[in-house]
Chains A and B, each alone.
Chain A
Amino acid sequence: MLDTGQWFACYLTNGAHFLFYQSFLVVFALIFVTAPTALAFGFGAAAASRSPILPIRLLGKLYTAMVRGVPDIAFFLFFVIVLDQLIEYSVHTIRCPDWSEPIYQGANFLVCDAARVPPGNSPQWVHETYNFFLAVFTYAIVFGAFCGNVLFGAMRAVPRAQLETAEAYGMSRRQTFWRVLVPQMWIYALPGLSNVWMILIKATPLLFLLGIEDIVYWARELGGSRTSAYQYPHPDWRFWYFLGLLVFYLCFTRVSEIALSRLTRRLSRGQATMAGEDLRKAAA
Chain B
Amino acid sequence: MKTLVISATVLALSAGAVLADAHSVVRMGTEGAYPPYNFINDSGEVDGFERALGDELCLRAELNCQWVTNEWDSIIPNLTSGNYDTIIAGMSITDERDQVIDFTQNYIPPASSLFLALSEDADLAGGVIAAQTNTIQAGYIAETGATLIEFATPDETIAAVRNGEADAVFADGDYLLPVANEDADLMIVGEPVQLGGGVGMGVRETDNELRDAFDVAIQSMKDDGTLNALITEWFGPEAATF
A229 lies within 8 A of B178 (CB): yes
Q: Which of B4-48 contact A (CB under 8 A)?
A: 22-25, 27, 33, 35-36, 39-45, 48
Contact A16 to B40, CB < 8 A, known contacts A211-B71, A224-B155, A228-B182: yes
Measured between alpha carbons, how far is A229 from B82 in the docked complex, in Å? Answer: 31
Is A232 part of the binding interface, using a Cβ–Cβ cutoff of 8 Å?
Answer: yes
Is A121 part of the binding interface, using a Cβ–Cβ cutoff of 8 Å?
Answer: yes
Chain A residues with CB under 8 Å of B94's CB are: none
Chain A residues with CB under 8 Å of B33's CB are: 221, 224
B153 lies within 8 A of A109 (CB): no
Q: How many residues of A contact B (CB 8 A)?
A: 32
Is B66 part of the binding interface, using a Cβ–Cβ cutoff of 8 Å?
Answer: yes
A124 lies within 8 A of B81 (CB): no
Chain A residues with CB under 8 Å of B40's CB are: 16, 221
Measured between alpha carbons, how far is A279 from B43 in the docked complex, in Å? Answer: 55
Chain A residues with CB under 8 Å of B22's CB are: 113
Q: Which A residue sits closest to B175, measured CB to CB?
A: A227
Measured between alpha carbons, how far is A15 from B45 in the docked complex, in Å? Answer: 8
Measured between alpha carbons, how far is A107 from B182 in the docked complex, in Å? Answer: 42
Q: How many residues of B contact A (CB 8 A)?
A: 36
A121 lies within 8 A of B23 (CB): yes
B39 lies within 8 A of A230 (CB): yes
Is A233 part of the binding interface, using a Cβ–Cβ cutoff of 8 Å?
Answer: yes
Can you list, as one digit per residue, whether each of B123-164 has a CB less than 8 Å from chain A (1) or not (0)?
000000000000000000000000000000101101100100
Chain B residues with CB under 8 Å of A102's CB are: none
Whole-angstrom distance between the Cβ of A217 and the nearest chain B Cβ: 9
Measured between alpha carbons, how far is A19 from B42 in the docked complex, in Å? Answer: 10
Can you list, as one digit per residue, whether each of A1-25 has a CB less than 8 Å from chain B (1) or not (0)?
0000000000000111011000000
B27 lies within 8 A of A120 (CB): yes
Q: Is the interface of A mostly helix, strand, loop or mixed?
A: loop
B42 lies within 8 A of A110 (CB): no
Whole-angstrom distance between the Cβ of B173 and the nearest chain A Cβ: 14
Is A116 part of the binding interface, using a Cβ–Cβ cutoff of 8 Å?
Answer: yes
Is B179 part of the binding interface, using a Cβ–Cβ cutoff of 8 Å?
Answer: yes
Q: Which of B69-116 contact A (CB under 8 A)?
A: 70-71, 74, 77, 80-83, 85
Q: Which of A206-264 contact B (CB under 8 A)?
A: 211, 220-221, 224-233, 236, 238
Residue of B25, B43, B81, B162 with most chain A CB atoms under a 10 A cut-off: B81
Is A108 part of the binding interface, using a Cβ–Cβ cutoff of 8 Å?
Answer: yes
Q: Which B residue sits closest to A11, measured CB to CB?
A: B42
Measured between alpha carbons, how far is A220 from B159 in the docked complex, in Å? Answer: 12
Is A71 part of the binding interface, using a Cβ–Cβ cutoff of 8 Å?
Answer: no
Chain B residues with CB under 8 Å of A121's CB are: 23-25
A116 lies within 8 A of B43 (CB): no
B158 lies within 8 A of A225 (CB): yes
Ranked nearest first, the 6 interchain pairs of A and B with the lowest CB-CB distance are A15-B43, A224-B155, A229-B35, A15-B44, A19-B44, A16-B44
Q: Residues of B at under 8 Å CB distance from A?
A: 22-25, 27, 33, 35-36, 39-45, 48, 66, 68, 70-71, 74, 77, 80-83, 85, 153, 155-156, 158-159, 162, 178-179, 182
